[in-house]
Amino acid sequence: MKYLAFAAGLITSAAGQMAAAETPVLTVYTYDSFVSDWGPGPAIEKAFEADCGCDLKFVAAGDGAALLARLRLEGARSEADVVLGLDTNLTAAARDTGLFAPVEVAAEYTLPLEWSDSTFIPYDWGYFAFVQNRDLVAPHSFRELADSDLKIVIQDPRSSTPGLGLLMWVKAAYGDEAPAIWAGLSDNIVTVTKGWSEAYGLFLDGEADMVLSYTTSPAYHLIAEEDDSKTTALFDEGHYMQVEVAGKLAASDQPELADRFLQFMVTDAFQSVIPTANWMYPAVTPAAGLPKGFETLTQPKTALLFPSDEAAALRDPALAEWLAALSR
Amino acid sequence: MARRAQPLSPALGVVAALGVAVLILGALAAVFWRAEAGRGLGPADWQAVRFTVVQAALSAGVSVGFALPVARALARRRFPGRAALIALMGAPFILPVIVAVLGLLAVFGRSGWISQGLSLIGLPPLRIYGLHGVVLAHVFFNLPLATRLILQGWQEIPAERFRLAAQLGAGPGAIWRLLEWPMLRRTAPGALAVIFAICLTSFAVALTLGGGPRATTVELAIYQAFRFDFDLARAALLSVLQIVLTGVAAALALRAAMGEGFGVGLDRAIRRWDAQGWVLKGQDGLAIALAALFLLLPLAAIATEGVAGLIALPASVWGAALNSLLIAAGSTAILLLIALPMAVAVALMRHPGWVEGAGLLGMAVSPLVIGTGAFIVIYPVADPAALALPVTALVNALMALPFALRILVPRARAVIGDFGRLALSLNMGRRAFVRLVLWPRMRPQIGFAAGLAAALSMGDLGVIALFADQEVATLPLQIYRLMGAYRMEAAAGAALLLLTLSVLLFWLFDRGGRRHAEA
């Protein structure tokens, strides 16, 4: 009997090793801050690996724009099965590469707008907004901001995703009047930075009264630092949205696993990590609701967002207007 | 005329230069090869070229202009803490851009220390944003480098020359005309060229302190072409433009750098009998104090901001610091292997222009383009993430190469010029010459170059961002990641750690090189 049990043990452990050798690997390309220790990556990896019988591997590549550039460099030979972290300003270009496959995910999105994209699924979103100290009298529109003496820091739309978001915000709110708004804002803009981090750092160091960020930014200070001194200005013309999406690569060698991961992305296990790790709104509000503190955030009355192909078409002319207005 | 016989041959250096040129131009060619037809250069690009050249020329001119009195003062004076000051002054050069900019603005910004001081006496805050802000920041980065390069020129004048000058009763004016000015004509153009080249590829500094899209540089256009338009042809084309600009600047500088060396000395400690007057002492003291204040205040700001965050650094920051140290060590080794033979080759060759030019390529080509090129080449044969550390070390070495050559070449030229024939007459072989003559006489320069390369590699974001994955990160990359996740305090702590490690590394190499020199 002893020998039998020993033999059985040998066999099962060998089988176990074989299973380990064949554990499928799902490769997910995403941006830097998603996978860092303090981002949502580690918790999500643990939750998904708990019952997928697979190895979830995150590969980080800069930010959303760098992510798409890397995919285009690698083409159809890319290791990536899923890409997580593009936004609606990039999805048109991403779709045009022909690298993405259609996906079907069943979800009750709690986005302020109807979602009808068959290639990319949203996993979180936020409103762009100007962050300021609570004691500052906030402007209620771009016009009021332009007429005030307030100093703002913004990001360059040529190198930064929020910068591009602001460009779209002004365009969505003012259309053909956008150049006039930019001309009015030009004396409020202290400087334009390469990326979000520089701008936010400058604001925290007191270089400007306001910085372009998200309505959810004060939640970080409130929840992680117990500091309620930051808030965002509510603009009457509405706030432009950033919707972050994921998609499946057509050349994936793990298409079923990729589908499973995309479906997992809209479950509570994924969505409940988002608010306090990515500091954005979850695309599907978890059953337990939003963390305490989120109810204090500014609630825009109007959500603005261009469909992705419109955003792609508007980008170059809007950029030219921006450059002309601010280069004077 | 036949070639002058020498104990060394330029062959190794020529091979190294060829290797460097192949690597960098190969990366550029790979980007072109992978590109689809793209947008050519438009009027906005030429405007960017104009701004880039103007700010780079101004920055180089002002840096070297201010470096003259500072280097002169440091050359003439000995005081306690001089070595520490010189080492610490190198720090701005090696900081990640974002950290340096925040430190600079903590002093010169709208709510910086100076503006706060001004408001106490009822004056408006400083207006830092604009072309002058860009130049200020670039001078902050490059004044230390210019000072060191020129100071080195001063230290290469043999002590006997100053002794002779003193015996002949030459005053400061005569010494300037006979010794210092000829030395500067040989050193300053090289310093100008290399600083011009660094400032050409500036992007985040120029944009942030330039105050908006008026301050668009060629590098920003490359970044935009790559990221938003994925127009590789355009990115590569703009990179060629950067090479041409650097090449023109280098050619002008090399043409201007003329004059013979000062010949051999007995390596006595330099004494300056000409600079004993109170006026000169005051002048020098003022130059040193102002430069120290200008360079050290922003560093102090970074240190004060960082202390709080240093205590609670996440574990991943320490791992990243280790990666950075590894890269720095690798990068320094690679640099010395390339730079020493190249410096010898330049010293030996009658027309070394192209070797020096190959050395400048690493500075002239946008890191983004080199990184992308390397990625395109590596991707089909290996996993880029697995090669992230070696590739980063190599690219960092290539970027430090122009500085290393500026430091090594004048000395190599002098040593070979002064001792080459003597060595030949003694029938000294190649090895013996390197061991007995070249190495001991070049040790301070090798130490300085190695220290600079190590520190530069520590602070550079380089190409790692393109290659890194979850596990592999460097300290600068981790700082950006922390900042990107609102963790400004931790980021400031990590920045202080980086600053400390870089200065320490620089000091170790630099000090090691000068152990015997400089009483």
Measured distance CA(B233)–CA(B391) in Å, rounded: 23
Q: Answer yes or no: are the C-beta atoms of A232 and A218 closer than 8 Å.
A: yes
Domain boundaries of chain B, sorted by first residue = 16-513
CB contact under 8 A, A72 and B224: no
Q: Is B303 exposed, middle or buried (0-12, 13-18, 19+ CB in 10 A)?
A: middle
CA distances from A14 to A20, A49, A51, A258 (A): 10, 22, 21, 28
CB contact under 8 A, A206 and B372: no
Cβ-based contacts of A315 with chain B (< 8 Å): 228
Residue of A nearest to B385 (CA): A59
Residue of B nearest to A159 (CA): B224
Cβ-based contacts of B223 with chain A (< 8 Å): 158-159
Identity of the residue in A38, A61, A186 whose CB atom sits nearest the CB atom of B485: A38
How much is the pLDDT for B373? 86
Cβ-based contacts of A198 with chain B (< 8 Å): 98, 101, 204, 208
Shortest Cα distance, chain B CAs vs residue A29, angstroms: 9
Cβ-based contacts of A66 with chain B (< 8 Å): 227, 465-466
Q: Please report the number of interchain residue pairs, chain A to chain B, with beta-carbon separation below 8 angstroms.
A: 143
Cβ-based contacts of A224 with chain B (< 8 Å): 486
Shortest Cα distance, chain A CAs vs residue B341, angstroms: 36
Q: What is the CA radius of gyration of chain B?
A: 23
Residue of A nearest to B386 (CA): A59
- The answer on pLDDT for A11 being more than 50 is no
CB contact under 8 A, A194 and B486: no
Give tens-digit pLDDT for A276-326: 999 999 999 999 999 999 999 999 999 999 998 999 999 999 999 999 898
Range 41-100 of B in CB contact (< 8 A) with A? 44, 98
- The answer on pLDDT for A6 being more than 90 is no
Residue of A nearest to B211 (CA): A191
Identity of the residue in A197, A202, A204 whose CB atom sits nearest the CB atom of B484: A197
Q: Which of B331, B437, B447 is nearest to B389 (CA)?
A: B331
How much is the pLDDT for B80? 87
CB contact under 8 A, A66 and B209: no
Provide mean pLDDT across the span A3-7.
Answer: 49
Measured distance CA(B422)–CA(B257) in Å, rounded: 26
Interface test with chain B among A158, A280, A322, by most B beta carbons within 10 Å: A158
- The answer on pLDDT for A15 being more than 50 is no
Is any Cβ of chain A less than 8 angstroms from the Cβ of B127?
no
How much is the pLDDT for A26? 94
Shortest Cα distance, chain B CAs vs residue A194, angstroms: 6
Measured distance CA(B130)–CA(B54) in Å, rounded: 13
Q: Answer yes or no: are the C-beta atoms of B98 and B480 closer than 8 Å.
A: yes
Measured distance CA(B496)–CA(B482) in Å, rounded: 14
CB contact under 8 A, A204 and B110: no
Q: Which residues contact A170 (CB under 8 A, 6 or more apart)?
A: A142, A178, A181, A182, A318
CB contact under 8 A, A156 and B228: no
- The answer on pLDDT for A117 being more than 80 is yes
Give tens-digit pLDDT for A189-231: 999 998 898 899 999 988 999 999 999 999 999 999 999 999 9
- How many other CB atoms are there within 10 angstroms of residue A112's CB atom? 17
Shortest Cα distance, chain A CAs vs residue B241, angstroms: 20
Shortest Cα distance, chain B CAs vs residue A68, angstroms: 8
- How many other CB atoms are there within 10 angstroms of residue A116's CB atom? 6
Identity of the residue in B380, B477, B484 whose CB atom sits nearest the CB atom of A196: B484
Cβ-based contacts of B488 with chain A (< 8 Å): 200-201, 204
CB contact under 8 A, A59 and B379: no
Q: Answer yes or no: are the C-beta atoms of B38 and B231 closer than 8 Å.
A: yes
Average pLDDT, chain A: 89
Measured distance CA(A213)–CA(A190) in Å, rounded: 15
Residue of B nearest to A77 (CA): B380
Burial code of B246-262, b = ≥16 C-beta within 10 A, e = fewer?
Answer: bbebbeebbeebeeebb
CB contact under 8 A, B102 and A194: no
pLDDT per residue rounded down to tens, chain B (519 residues): 334 567 677 888 888 888 888 888 888 888 888 777 667 777 788 888 999 999 999 999 999 999 999 998 888 888 888 888 887 777 787 777 778 888 898 899 888 888 888 888 888 888 888 899 999 999 998 998 899 888 888 877 777 777 887 788 777 788 878 888 888 888 888 888 888 988 888 888 888 888 888 888 888 888 888 887 888 888 888 888 888 888 888 788 777 766 556 666 666 666 676 667 788 888 888 988 898 888 889 989 888 888 888 887 888 888 889 988 998 999 999 999 999 999 988 888 877 778 888 888 877 888 788 888 888 888 888 877 777 788 888 888 988 898 888 888 888 888 888 887 888 888 877 788 888 888 888 888 899 899 888 988 887 766 666 666 656 778 888 888 888 888 888 888 998 999 888 888 888 888 877 654 443
- The answer on pLDDT for A14 being more than 50 is no
Measured distance CA(B143)–CA(B62) in Å, rounded: 8
CB contact under 8 A, B212 and A189: yes
Is any Cβ of chain A less than 8 angstroms from the Cβ of B227?
yes
Domain boundaries of chain A, sorted by first residue = 2-125+242-295, 126-241+298-326
Q: Which of B485, B496, B478, B484 is nearest to B306 (CA)?
A: B496
Identity of the residue in B207, B372, B485 whose CB atom sits nearest the CB atom of A39: B485
Shortest Cα distance, chain A CAs vs residue B452, angstroms: 26
How much is the pLDDT for B96? 74
Q: Which of the four CATH numbers 1.10.3720.10, 3.90.420.10, 2.40.50.140, 3.40.50.720 does domain B16-513 have?
A: 1.10.3720.10
CB contact under 8 A, B485 and A33: yes
Shortest Cα distance, chain B CAs vs residue A292, angstroms: 19
What is the DSSP-derived secondary structure letter of residue B213? G
Measured distance CA(B506)–CA(A297) in Å, rounded: 47
Structure tokens at B154: 């001063």
Identity of the residue in A156, A204, A224 whose CB atom sits nearest the CB atom of B213: A156
Cβ-based contacts of B470 with chain A (< 8 Å): 35, 41, 58-60
The SS3 of residue A30 is: strand
CB contact under 8 A, B230 and A41: no
What is the CATH topology of the domain spanning A2-125+242-295?
D-Maltodextrin-Binding Protein; domain 2 (3.40.190)
CB contact under 8 A, A197 and B213: no
Shortest Cα distance, chain A CAs vs residue B19, angstroms: 25
CB contact under 8 A, A205 and B102: yes
CB contact under 8 A, B207 and A206: no
What is the CATH topology of the domain spanning A126-241+298-326?
D-Maltodextrin-Binding Protein; domain 2 (3.40.190)
CB contact under 8 A, A207 and B385: no
Query: Can you tell me the ipTM of this complex?
Result: 0.83
CB contact under 8 A, A36 and B129: no
Shortest Cα distance, chain A CAs vs residue B339, angstroms: 32
